[in-house]
Structure 1
């Protein structure tokens, strides 16, 4: 009798353990293939960043083609966008030049960056100026003036297509801060949250 009772107890213990393991697998199966909360989050800034001296370059990127004039194709033109922040509270600086093997960089106006201010380069339309000024700034960095007209910087005579998914090295030269190379991506455009795939096989 004792042997039989012990045998039954062992069988019950094995059955309980098997059911518990099955429950764990079922619960983990419900989570498999789902898009996590962090996967739906997107970066607030599309471009690259770099620091040199008292100058902080933020959101450096090529704009996506919007018109036939700026087609980002070989032989055509592209627009370079960025925010240049002067972190000094007393010394102004100036963007002297931007070098690249993609083509000739045309800076429409002299770009002076006054102390504790931000200069935005972008396609000069009201929509683009507002969008550029709305980009996040790092803590302690002065924000761009939303009413300021952005400066236009074009890269003309492109030697190759400027393609999304790739980066292109550009050399920024500042009068006081010095020189810095930035690997510049192409604007990712509108950021749309990822959608969860349709569930199959019913709810778990």
Structure 2
């Protein structure tokens, strides 16, 4: 007598008991495969998303004609930051301006803040702010700035409450372009500029809720 014949002569409850383990095993195997596939798919998706993510950049990026402004930001004061913020400056403005034009030179004419003034304490001479074809000009020390780049220093004062740590303020960059041996207006661009928030908060090694409470007893 075959196994099927033996099952057929059993009572209905016994037949259900005999068949149930087989169905249960199949269901468990199916769920296991689904979980494995789901986990693999999720992991693959995460790798793909990570591969396409761009690195974080501190400053703002803006283009105007052949000029690319990169990592524009207001640096956190190195000394006595609370007083500096309270006085509305002085703050150092950091940026990199690259000229992708292979023929014409540009010149940084001025930087105008929402309130106060920005002066070039290093690079006060207009010729020091010329950006030759294929070259770059940088102010301050933004992340990724190459040491060989031409450098100037731009200082913001009397900014009032328009500059606050971790927030943004508007700076307008004005440029000139050299055409036929003369400097002509090349337009301006307003950059929503982030203000460096400073160093991260100090780590606190003292455990919280050290005293017994209803939740940690």
- TM-score strictly above 0.5: yes
Q: Which has the higher helix share?
A: 2
Unaligned runs of 5+ in 1: 123-127, 135-145, 192-204
**SS of residue matched to 2:20:** helix
Measure how far apart 1:8 and its partner are: 2.8
Q: Deviations over 1:45-77 (max 9, x none)?
A: 311111101111011111122123896503221
Measure how far apart 1:166 and its partner are: 1.8
Preserved contact between residue 62 and residue 187 of structure 1 (Cα < 8 Å): yes
**SS of residue matched to 1:73:** helix
Measure how far apart 1:190 and its partner are: 7.5
Preserved contact between residue 165 and residue 198 of structure 2 (Cα < 8 Å): no
Distance 2:55 2:165 in 1: 16
- Give the total of aligned pairs: 168
Q: Which has the higher strand share?
A: 2
Corresponding residue of 1:196:
none
CA RMSD in angstroms comes to 3.7
Change in 2 beyond 3 A, CA 1:106/1:22: same
Corresponding residue of 1:83:
96
Unaligned runs of 5+ in 2: 1-6, 178-185, 201-217
**SS of residue matched to 2:161:** coil
**SS of residue matched to 1:8:** helix
Corresponding residue of 2:157:
156
Normalising to structure 2: TM-score of the pair? Answer: 0.62
Change in 2 beyond 3 A, CA 1:54/1:148: closer
Per mean C-alpha deviation after superposition, the further-off stretch among 73-82 and 14-23 is 14-23
- Structure 1 residues 149-188: aligned runs within 5 Å: 150-160=151-161, 162-176=163-177, 177-187=186-196
Measure how far apart 1:80 and its partner are: 0.6
Change in 2 beyond 3 A, CA 1:20/1:180: same
Distance 1:54 1:162 in 2: 29
Preserved contact between residue 70 and residue 79 of structure 1 (Cα < 8 Å): no
Which one of the candidate residues 28, 47, 51 is aligned to 2:63?
51
Corresponding residue of 1:17:
27
Which one of the candidate residues 5, 22, 25 is aligned to 2:15?
5
**SS of residue matched to 1:102:** coil
Change in 2 beyond 3 A, CA 1:70/1:151: farther
Give yes or no for the alignment of 1:96 onto 2:109: yes
**SS of residue matched to 1:179:** strand
Q: Structure with the greater relative contact order (CA < 8 A, sep ≥ 6): 1 or 2?
A: 1
Measure how far apart 1:98 and its partner are: 1.4
Distance 1:149 1:117 in 2: 9
**SS of residue matched to 2:24:** helix
